[in-house]
Amino acid sequence: MHASRWFDKSLVLRDGVRLTSRIWLPNSNGAWPALLMRQPYGREIASTITYSHPEWWVSKGYMVIIQDVRGMGSSEGVFNGFKQEASDTSETHEWVRSLKECNGKLGLYGFSYQGFTQLTGESNSKPPDCLSPAMTGVSVKDHWCSDGGAYWWHNNIAWGLQIAALKMKRENNLFNWGKIRLALENKSYLMEGIDILKKYDPNSFVLQWLKNFEYGYPFEEFKPISTWIKQPMLIIGGLWDPHLKGAFDLYKKSKEAGGSPEILIGNATHLNWWEGSQESLLKFFDKHLKLDKKFNFKDTKREKKIWNISLNKWDELDNKPCPEFIFGLKSDGTANVDIKDGSLTINSKGSGWFTIVNDPWRPTPSDGGHLGPNPGKFNRNIIDKRLDVGVFQTNSFKEDQYLKGVPTLEIPVKSDQPNFDICLALSLVEEENEKVNQFSTGFLRVKNPKISEECIYKITMQPTNICLIKGSKLRLSISAAAYPAIGVNPGYGEGNIGAPSLNHRIITLSFLLNKTFMKMTPFF
C-alpha cells in the first residue's frame, strides 16, 4: 500500500463557524497540488461510493481535502442546503491554497451535491485551477427536483430523509435515526415520508421544493460564476442520472462564457459509474495541475464522448442532429389493449385516437431509467401489458438507425379532470416483443382548467444515444402515472401529489393522434 498520512484540521470562517476537514498527504517531503471535495455525508466516506479513496489520489501525487459542509458531519453551524455554500466555498479555497502542504494549485472534484459546491462561490473570488462537477446541475427546479413540473417523489423523499438521518446522528438521537432508517428500509417513506420530514427536519429543502410546486412559489436561482466555468472543466454525466440535463446545461453555459469544457456522458446511474472513470479524472487533473504553467490546455485534445447504449461503445459527442426522423402515432382506439394496433411510423403523419384511465388505487408503476427506484436499464415488458398504458411500436428496422439527442413528443390530449400527468418511455424491443429495453423516460405535469377540451402538450424525455439495431423495433409507451418516480396526480387542486389517497380522483385521458409526432432535438 502506498504510504500516506491523514489528519483533521479546522477552518474558522468569517462568521465564526468552524468547518472540519480531513486531509490526506503523501508520506514524503514537498508541497502538492490539492484536490478538494466539500460534502454533507461524512468526510470519512469521501464519496467512495463513486470515487477512489483519497489514498489512491495521494498515491498519484496529490494532497486531498474532504470537508464537512456547514451543519453536517463535525462542522459547526446549521445546514441550509444550497444557499449556504457560496461564501463557505470561496473561504475554503483561500484556506486550502494557504496551507503549507499545498503548492498553490487547486482542483475540485465531487458529484451530486459535491458537484454543486464546485459551481458556487463569491463572484470576486479567485477561481479554482480546474474543476470536475459530476452528476449535477445548477437549476434547482429543472435539474434537482422535477421533470416537466412533475416532482421527483422517490428521489426527493429518500434524499431528504437521508439528510434528516445525518442530522439525527449529529444529535446522537438513536431513536429518531432508527425511525427514519426503518421508513426507508420498509418503503413506508413513499406514504409517510413527508410527515416524517416535517417531524424530524421541518426546515428540509425537500419540503420547501414541494411547497414551491404546490403554491407556485419561485425557486432559488443559482448562476455559476463565469470566471470559474471558463476554467478547465471536466463535466461527468450518466445516461441514467437524474441530473443529466444539468450536465448538458453546464456545458452550454461554459461554452457561452468562453470556456472549453470537456464532457463524458457514460453508461452510469447516479451511484454506479463505468470502469475507467477514475483514470479519466486522473488524466484531467494531471494535465491541469501538474504540467508547466506555459502549457496551453486549449491546444490539447479535449474529451467529448457519450456512451452508445446498444452498441456498448463510446461515440464522439457533438451537437450535429441525427438523421431527421419524425415519428407519427397511429391507433384505432386499442393501443392500450392490442400490441398490433398502436404503430409508430417514420416520417408519416399520425392518425386515430386512444383512451386510458388512471386509477389511483393501482397507478402505473415505474422502474429503471433515471428516476425509478432501481435506475438504469429495465425490461418494461410486464408494465406495457397493462391496459392503462398505450403502446406504439415500429416495424422491425431493415438497417441500423441512430437516435441521438433529446426525444420530444407533441400530443393533443383531453382530460376529464383539471390536473393530470403524461408519462412516457422509449424502449428497444427484441426477441418477439418479450425483451423491452427501456432507455429513456419523460414526464409532464399539467394544470389546466379546460376540462374535456383538446390542448396540445410537449413532453421532453431524458437525453439519449442509441443505435436502433437492424431487426429490432422502437417502442413508445404512454401512461398517466409513473409511481413512485413521480407522485400520483390527485386530479385537482394542490397538494396530495404523492402516494395514492382516498381523495385522489380517477382520471380519463383521451389522446388524439392526427396532430401527434415525436422527434429528436439537439443535446444543447
pLDDT tens digits for 247-288? Answer: 999 999 999 999 999 999 999 999 999 999 999 999 999 999
Are the folds of 4-138+225-302 and 326-521 the same? Answer: no
What confidence score (pLDDT) does residue 29 get? 86
Per-domain residue ranges for the chain?
Answer: 4-138+225-302, 144-215, 326-521
For residue 30, the model assigns a pLDDT of 81
Tell me the pLDDT band of 497, cut-offs 50, 70 and 90. Answer: confident
HEC-encoded secondary structure of 391-443: EEECCCCCCCEEEEEEEEEEEEEEECCCEEEEEEEEEEEECCCCEEEEEEEEE
Segment (H or E) for 279 = helix 277-289
Distances (CA, A) of 445 to 367, 396, 421, 479: 19, 33, 5, 12
Confidence class of residue 4 from pLDDT cuts 50, 70 and 90? confident
Nearest to 498 by CA among 240, 226, 191, 255: 191
CA distance between the termini of the chain: 44
Confidence of residue 365 (pLDDT cuts 50, 70, 90): very high
User: Cα separation of 70 and 301, whole Å?
Assistant: 38
CA atoms within 13 A on the CB side of 414: 9
Look at residue 384 and tell me whether its pLDDT is greater than 60: yes
| CATH (residue range 326-521) | 2.60.120.260
Render pLDDT for 17-47 as a digit per residue (tens, 0 to 9).
999 999 999 998 889 999 999 999 999 999 9
Average pLDDT of the segment spanning 381-403 = 96
- CA dist 99 → 17, 22, 76, 94, 380 (Å): 19, 13, 21, 9, 53
Q: Per-residue pLDDT averaged across 302-325, rounded?
A: 87
Whether CATH 3.40.50.300 fits 4-138+225-302: no
Residue 165 CA from chain centroid, whole number: 22
Q: Cell numbers 383521451 label which residue?
A: 510
Q: What is the pLDDT of residue 45?
A: 97
pLDDT over 70 percentage in the chain: 97
- Write the CB contacts of 351 (distance below 8 Å, at least 6 apart in sequence): 328, 330, 513, 514
Distance CA 26, CA 289 (A): 16
* 48 Cα distance to chain centroid: 19
